[in-house]
Amino acid sequence: MTEVQSKADCSPPTAQPTPGWRGRVSYLGPGLVLAAASVGAGDMITSISGAALYGMGLLWVAALGLLIKFGVTEAVGRHYIASGTTIVAGARTVASWLPHLLFVFFLVVALIYGAGLSSVAALALSTLFPTIPVIPASIAIAALAAAVVLYGRYNAFENTMKWFILLKFGLMVTLACITLAQIDDWGGFVHSLRPTFPSGSLIDVIGLIGGVGGTAGIAAYGYWVREKKWTTPQWVPIMRLDAATSYGIVFVFVIATTIVGTGLVYGTGRSIKGADGLAALAEPLGADLGSATRVLFLVTFLMVVTAALVGGFNGLAYLLSDSLRTIRRVSDDTADSYVSEKSWVFRGFVLMSLISSVVVVFTGRPVALVLLYAAVGSLVLPILSATLLVLLNRKDIVPSLRNGLMSNAILVTALAMFVLLAAVQIMESF
């Protein structure tokens, strides 16, 4: 009997899910966490930059990217339910060196992630209140995000992320409605709805696909499923609904952001480059739609980035603590001593991310570190896709939970697409 089988067979009995749609909806949670954590400033920049050139014509690209990432996320959740083991522990059965590589990748991301996002959040805050200095604000936001994660209970963390969902997605939809109400050239707006293929190259399309949704957050989804104790096949339909809800919400956010970008930037010659350009968009937005809308945009910007920071601290701490546990070959029976929000290992990695954020902010975020973060982060999804292709096609997985034709097709597509995207990212970085 394999390790995977014995772990699944020895799992303690859990309550069965309540039947019916109302019962399923009441369990949703990890997908809402993923939606709040995976949508950040990069998604806003990608959506608005695409809208600046093509209006609403690239929504099909976002839809395709989110469909592919849903397939990968569903596979992560299904692997945990089918095997009772985490994705990092599963990776060790694919190649003994893989957890070591993943640990290095997650460590690099964690050391730089907090500084980048807290600086972007502080930029939005200082644009809203010019008297607030950026560096102290950045440190305060990073400390607040770490405090939410260090509170130590998953339910409290999940509820906090649900509030972030309500705030940032509700605010962005409100901004989209205000933008639609102010559009004068409805003919041009409707014409921009026609699906467009960028004239540059296939690489541009793949870059846009990779620019929406999460990366490391997708790998962390399995830990949030684990916290919900979804451990039997009866939970698979709820897990799928949960993951689908996540990407449905993200797609609504992308639509709303694209509407704002089309209404404000399309055909004007303006461009958005980086978080600085995104913050600068608040000024023309206020000139066109009023000062209240400018404030609404900056608050939305702040909520989007802060939620991503909180979710990132949590997800990366799970991935790092589980990678360390797997490398040290700590048994699944004592996994909670590492892979738990109450464990000192988990909390140590959160504190490490916080301290690193402060250090990198004070050193000015050296360009070399940012380039390294971009290059390493781009490698997570192809490794994850390849690992899932191996794990979920094994005979020791319950037949009903193995990959079908559609799942394999999505994972193969994700692998090819993200390998190409990673290669381009690395070449551009170095």
The pair of three-digit structure tokens given for residue 259, joined into one six-digit string: 């509407």
Predicted local confidence at residue 14, as pLDDT: 47
Nearest to 297 by CA among 265, 332, 266, 341: 265
Beta-carbon contacts of 75 under 8 Å, excluding residues fewer than 6 positions away, are: 388, 392, 403, 407, 411
| pLDDT average, residue stretch 268-291 | 65
Say if CB 85 and CB 397 are below 8 A apart.
no
pLDDT of residue 369: 55
pLDDT at 56 over 50: yes
The predicted model scores a pTM of 0.88
**Cβ pair 294, 179 in contact under 8 A:** no
Q: What does each C-alpha distance from 33 to 160, 312, 417 come to in angstroms?
A: 9, 10, 25
Task: Tally the C-alpha atoms within 13 A of residue 328's C-alpha that lie toward its C-beta.
Answer: 15
The per-residue pLDDT for range 10-40, each reduced to its tens digit, is 444 445 766 666 667 778 899 999 999 988 7
**Helix %, strand %, coil % for the chain, to 5?**
75, 0, 25
Q: What is the mean pLDDT of residues 33-61?
A: 83
**What is residue 295's predicted lDDT score, i.e. its pLDDT?**
85
In the chain, the percentage of residues whose pLDDT exceeds 70 is: 83
**pLDDT, position 318:** 95
- Give the C-alpha separation, 163 to 32, whole Å: 10
For 152: left if phi > 0, alpha if psi spans -120 to 50, otherwise beta; the answer is left
Please give the mean pLDDT across all residues of the chain. Answer: 83
In sequence order, which residues have a C-beta less than 8 Å from that of residue 359 and are 6 or more positions away? Answer: 115
Give CA 391 to chain center in angstroms.
22
Query: pLDDT-based confidence at 365, cuts 50/70/90?
Result: low
**In Å, what is the CA distance from 359 to each residue of 7, 103, 132?**
41, 21, 20
Q: What is the mean pLDDT of residues 384-405?
A: 94
Q: Where are the domains of the chain?
A: 22-429
Measure the CA–CA gap between 143 and 357, rounded to whole angstroms: 9
Orientation angle between helical segments 41-54 and 291-327, nearest 10 degrees? 130
Architecture of the domain whose range is 22-429: Up-down Bundle (1.20)
pLDDT at 329 over 50: yes
- Write the burial class of residue 80 (CB in 10 Å: 0-12 exposed, 13-18 middle, 19+ buried): buried
Is pLDDT above 80 for 284? no
